[in-house]
A and B are shown apart, each in its own frame.
Chain A
Amino acid sequence: MKINFFYKLLIAVTLFSGLFFSCDKVEPPYMNVTDVSDCPAPTFPEITNPEKTLLIEEFTGHKCVYCPTGAYYIHQITQESYGNRVVVLAIHASGLSVPEPGNFNLDLRPLQNIGEDLYLDFQIPAEPRAMFNREKLDGNSFYYSAPDTWKSKAEQVLAQAPEITLQIINDYEEASRKLCTHVRTKFLGPNSQNLKIAVFISEDSIVGYQSNNNSAVGPTPEIEDYVFMDVLRDGFVGTYGEVLTTGNVSQDSAIIRTYKKILSPDWNHKHCKVVAYVYNTDTKRILQAAEAHVVD
């Protein structure tokens, strides 16, 4: 009887013991290191007259009735005489950007949960809100409501002296949709800050429905053919980018980083841009930003 019992037990346990080996423990680093050996680095031209650049991170959503007003004021800023010194990322995040059946079925939220990461990190309470190089311009907050005040915030940041320069050169193969992006950071003075570099893809000219409550900027309550600009789509190195430097860097030093990505077939490569910025990991402040179209 005892032999019979243990025999049965042995069969049952043997049958399922293989499960104990069914585990894939992943060791750090947890993210894949992309092979960029097929992306030869180009030669960057020197910038002779460096200027401060501004990144406006605009938190928005296609079901947010106040957001077309926010986009209107950002458009005013980019059309001013700042040239290409202003870079915009429209971050579609939170409940007001969740697609739903019907008119609002567009999904403009970035991949890799980037939008929600930033929304939570900066404790954005509602949309629209904008950050200007993540500077606490009033001493308290990273983000600002009241779009009609955004222009003065932008001017405050643009008046600062640049600490670094940032340049982007893209190399795109249309057949394979392979994009090689090279980003050069040059230090205009000695640096002792902990810095990270973050690189993203954005897309312009996406047409869809947008809620609206301001008849001065479009039909209400919905704009049928709203053109979404600067939509943050994806990141080359996740939400937070990668470490650029954690030690002292001397003046005129330059670091070139190369990234590679296969563009999603859902994006129109002719409307895509690469946006890069360098930020201080301790204060979150962005030192400099740049953007370049995937296809010239």
Chain B
Amino acid sequence: MRQRFCLLLLFFITISYASAQSGIEKFLQNSQVSGNFELDGMYYNPDSLIGAPDVPQKLLMNTFAEIKYSNGPFSAGLRFENYLYALQGFDPRYKGVGIPYRYVSFEKDMYSITVGNSYDQFGSGLIYRSWQDFALGYDNSLDGVNIKVKPYKGITLKGIWGLQRFYFTRSPGVIRGFDADLALNEMFKGFTNSDFRVTLGGSFVSKYQDGDDPVYKLPKNVGSYAGRANFVYKNFSISGEYVHKINDPSAFNNRIYKPGNATFIQMTYAKKGVGVYLAAIRTDNMSYKTDRDAVGNDLNINYIPAITKQTTYSLAAIYPYATQPNGEFGFQASTTFTFAKKSKLGGKYGTNFSLTYSQYNNIEKQKIDEFTPLDSTGTLGYKSNFFKIGKEVNYQNFNLEFSKKLSKKIKMILSYFYVMYNSKVIEGHDVPNIHSHVAVTDITININKKHSLRTELQYLYTKQGEGSWMYAMLEYTLAPGWFFAVSDQFNYGNPSKDKQIHYYSVSTAYAIGSTRISLNYGRQRAGIFCVGGVCRYVPAANGLSLTLTSSF
């Protein structure tokens, strides 16, 4: 009897083990792990000539490693971050080591649920956007719950609820939000194949922050709502979004109680050889943060895009535009022409030509009554006519770009930029507006499959600010892995003779597979670094920097 029982037990254990073994194998087969890593370190030399300070730690470093695990409908991830200490120019509140980003997500047919940190946006982001940019030192991920439901074809509903990441802590205020997106052509069978496509959407976001103030009556719940529409007909599309926010007195808006609003309209047209883009944006008291005492880029709930020409050419990017959530009106008109190969204007290899103009003004403001100065704390602040544009010009940018392949081996880009930069509005420095003209020549020579050379020659002319600049850069690429570059930015036109400085730089990089290591030695000028209108100040630096990136 005892033997039988033992045999039976052994049988069940064997079966269970085999079954578990097959389950584990299946589980492991479905598992996927991916990740990426980045290290940015710099050894700083003091350089009084360019104003680079003596960094007590000498060596500073920003590092992150992100790991994602997925298995069928389930996924989870985390990001380890290390700022000991953060590179110069990054907010010193990035200090320490930790895992400020982690999440678990489950996705089924009609819904997905994410708990932990998530990135998302409603519409164009004017009402809600959580995003991250490591180079900018920006991260406002939502730490809470993010639910997406697709109850029917063409309908997407989103709900969010949580706190925002704030360096290595969290925001004092909570965000609650709901968004609905309706793709009408998918919802109604008769319109599925129509050339006329319509998408409608609406959002509601509310923040809650506790706290009483002896002076101000504070709204603890600040709600905002948005409506949007997108129409597409063949090659033409037009989209728009309007956001309204109720009273939200904060340190950013000088504690005024005026409701805020923003409007963003975009139009595109494209046909063979021609592309046109028109955009306009108006914001009026639309800083929206989870902490009423936050300033700068801290704890933004929404995102105001900058509709100016984005460029990587260093002299053309010296004077970038930083969006002004308290009030601005901007527009951009851009057109591109592609002349086909072997046509009269295209030549043997084709030609591209683009033209862009953008401008930002302030909004028109009127006093609320004859006794109260504009923007007075504890009042409605000001009145503004939606259809009147302010007289002060914040920024202008005109760009011409001509791109042509001259031969099988040589490609050339010629660019001209005119930039008008209002320092008083953008940086708060009461100095004359800067009018700069920038010419760029960018030539790439593919010597053969292994060797290529690229050179950039740039010239910036201005009588204001730091005066005129010249820039030269030569890059040599030895495929598949090596890269070498030398460059110099020379501020030859600085009105102060002792600031007519060379900002030289030597760099090399080696890539193997998805891993790249690069070294750079040289000077970096002080300036403003922006991503889509969100900016941070970069101080002058001199030293050796190392960047290591890898992914798997």
Q: Which residues of A contact B (CB under 8 A)?
A: 5, 8-9, 12-13, 15-16, 19-20, 22-26, 28-32, 34, 94-95, 101, 112-114, 116-117, 120-121, 125-126, 194, 196, 238-240, 243, 261-262, 281-282
Indicate which residue in A5, A20, A30, A113 contacts B204 across the interface (CB closer than 8 Å): A20
Q: A12-B151, A26-B219 are in contact. List 13 more A-B contacts (CB 8 A).
A: A19-B223, A20-B223, A22-B221, A23-B219, A23-B222, A23-B246, A24-B219, A95-B428, A112-B255, A121-B373, A194-B371, A238-B215, A238-B376
Q: A24-B222, A113-B251 are in contact. Are A32 and B213 (CB under 8 A)?
A: yes
Bound complex: CA of A191 vs CA of B222, how far in Å? Answer: 44
Query: Contacts A117-B254, A194-B371 hold; do A31 and B152 have CB atoms under 8 A apart?
Result: no
Across the A-B interface, how many residue pairs have beta carbons closer than 8 Å? 111
Hey, which chain A residues are within 8 Å of B152, CB to CB? Answer: 5, 8-9
CA distance A169 to B313 in the complex (A): 64
Ranked 5 nearest A-B pairs via Cβ: A23-B223, A16-B178, A22-B206, A8-B151, A24-B219
B214 and A32 contacting across the interface, CB-CB below 8 Å: yes
Which residues of B have CB within 8 Å of A95?
428-429
With A8-B110, A12-B151, A31-B378 known to touch, is A22 a contact of B223 (CB < 8 Å)? Answer: yes
Which B residues touch A20, using CB under 8 A? 204, 223
**Shortest Cβ gap from B26 to chain A (Å):** 31
Contact flags (1/0) for B144-164 with A, using CB distance below 8 Å? 000001011001010100000
Supposing A32-B216, A194-B371 touch, asked if A16 and B247 sit within 8 A by C-beta, the answer is: no
Q: Are A117 and B178 in contact (CB under 8 A)?
A: no
Q: Which residues of A contact B116 (CB under 8 A)?
A: none
Q: Is the CB of A26 within 8 A of B377?
A: no
Shortest Cβ distance from residue A34 to the other chain B in the assembled complex, whole angstroms: 7
Given contacts A16-B178, A30-B378, A239-B377, contact A24 B216 (CB under 8 A): no
Interface residues of B in 200-225 (CB under 8 A from A): 204-206, 208, 213-223
Distance between B383 CB and nearest chain A CB, rounded to angstroms:
14
Cα distance, A20 to B177, chains bound together (Å)? 10
Partner of B217 from A26, A34, A240 at Cβ < 8 Å: A26
Which of B176, B219, B377 lies in contact with A25, CB distance below 8 A?
B219
Considering residues A5, A30, A120, A262, which has the most beta carbons from chain B within 10 angstroms of its beta carbon?
A30
Which one of B110, B221, B371, B379 lies within 8 Å of A30 (CB-CB)?
Answer: B379
B176 contacts A238, C-beta separation under 8 Å: no
Do A25 and B216 touch (CB < 8 A)?
A: no
Residues in A whose Cβ lies below 8 Å from that of B159: 12, 15-16
Contacts A19-B177, A22-B221, A34-B214 known; A117 to B377 CB distance under 8 Å? yes
Contact B206 A23 (CB under 8 A): yes
CB of A9 within 8 A of CB of B378, answer no
A120 / chain B contacts, CB cutoff of 8 Å: 375
0/1 string, B6-37, CB within 8 A of A gives 1? 00000000000000000000000000000000
The chain B residue with its CB closest to the CB of A284 is: B373
**Pick from A12, A112, A114, A238: contact of B157, CB under 8 Å:** A12
Nearest Cβ on chain A to B118's Cβ, whole angstroms: 16
- Please name the residue on chain B nearest to A24 by beta carbon: B219
Is the interface on chain B under 10, 10 to 19, 20 to 34, or 35 or more residues? 35 or more
> Is B430 engaged at the interface, CB distance under 8 Å to the other chain?
yes
State the CA gap A30–B372 with chains docked (Å).
14
In the complex, residue of chain A having the shortest beta-carbon distance to the beta carbon of B254: A113
Which residues of A lie under 8 Å from residue B155 when comparing CB positions? 9
Q: Which residue of B lies closest to A2 (CB)?
A: B152
Task: Give B238-251 as 1s and 0s: 1 = Cβ < 8 Å from A's Cβ atoms.
Answer: 00000000110101
B178 pairs with A30, CB closer than 8 A: no
CB proximity of A72 to chain B, nearest CB, Å: 25
Closest to A16 in B: B178
Q: Does B90 contact A (CB under 8 A)?
A: no
Taking the closest CB of chain B, its distance from the CB of A199, in whole angstroms, is 13
Q: List 23 A-B contacts (CB under 8 A).
A: A5-B152, A9-B157, A13-B157, A16-B159, A19-B204, A22-B221, A23-B206, A23-B222, A24-B246, A26-B217, A26-B247, A28-B257, A29-B217, A29-B378, A31-B215, A31-B217, A32-B216, A95-B428, A238-B215, A238-B377, A239-B376, A239-B377, A240-B372
Closest A residue to B431 using CB positions: A125
Q: Give bound CA distance, A116 to B255, whole Å.
A: 12
CA A22 to CA B370, docked complex, whole Å: 34
Query: CA A22 – CA B378 in complex, angstroms?
Result: 22
Pick from B246, B257, B373: contact of A240, CB under 8 Å = B373
A202, B155: Cα distance in complex, Å: 59
A240 with B178: in contact, given A26-B217, A30-B249, A31-B217 (CB under 8 Å)?
no
By the criterion CB–CB under 8 Å, are B215 and A32 in contact?
A: yes
B92 at the interface (CB under 8 A from A): yes
Distance from B287 Cβ to chain A, minimum over Cβ atoms (Å): 14
Nearest CB in chain A: distance from B369 CB, A:
10
Q: Given A12-B149, A12-B151, A30-B249, do A262 and B214 touch, yes or no (CB 8 Å)?
A: yes
Contacts of B429 in A (CB 8 A): 95
Most interface-central of B213, B215, B257, B428 (chain A CB within 10 A): B215
Interchain CB contact under 8 A, B376 and A117: yes
Closest to A243 in B: B371
Contacts of B219 in A (CB 8 A): 23-26
